Amino acid sequence: MSNAARLSEVAWVLETTPTHCHELAANMREEDRDEIWKSSRLQPLEALLLGQMDSLRTWTFLVHGRVVAIFGVAPLTDMVGAPWMLASPELPQARKTFLAHCRDYINQMHELRPVLMNRAWTGNPVHLLWLRWLGFEFCDPEPFGPDGEAFQEFQKVQFPCVPS
């Protein structure tokens, strides 16, 4: 596996391929499917392929060779990136390994963009808890998407120190 990072005996993170997108689209968490639909009216495969194509970087979290999550950061401006993640129902079984390493990938996103911001559907509490644990700050819920569902904007800022 080129550009692969071994996280444990059975877990790897590597660059996302279209094959990974197809595998996850066929086995995505229901909450993630709902969030995609409520925000954009896209199907899971469409969202994953667009995410891979439009992002500065995407990663796939594999456990026992199966795609458990795909995540990345899409450019909004030269300073701002939109982090995103979609997962399979198997993510809770691999959460210890995932949580032990996910801050490293947020730091890699910050190397690409000092400001990270996006929106999360309030009906996806697992995502909201994970983002809070990672140190993201939240705005109040606001209507968003075709049906005006409640979404919360979240952000994390990490400006590099400037030598004096």
24 in a structural domain: yes
pTM, two decimal places: 0.91
Whether the predicted pLDDT of 161 surpasses 80: no
Question: How many folded domains does the chain comprise?
Answer: 1
Q: Which domain holds residue 140?
A: 5-157
Q: Is residue 67 part of a domain?
A: yes
164 is a domain residue: no
Question: What does the block give as tokens for 80?
Answer: 């701002």
CB 113 within 8 A of CB 73: yes
Q: Mean pLDDT of all residues in the chain?
A: 93
Asked if residue 162 is part of any domain, the answer here is no
CB of 29 closer than 8 Å to CB of 88: yes
The rounded distance, in Å, linking the Cα atoms of 74 and 112 is 10
Asked if residue 60 belongs to a domain, the reply is: yes
The answer as to whether 131 is a domain residue is yes
Residue 163 maps to a domain:
no
What pLDDT, on a 0 to 100 scale, did the predictor assign at position 2? 47
Residue 149 domain-assigned (yes or no): yes
pLDDT in tens, 1-28: 446 666 666 778 899 999 999 999 999 9
Q: Find, among 111, 87, 106, the residue nearest to 159 by Cα.
A: 111
Q: For residue range 27-64, list pLDDT tens digits in order.
A: 999 999 999 999 999 999 999 999 999 999 999 999 99
Q: What is the CATH number of the domain that holds 56?
A: 3.40.630.30
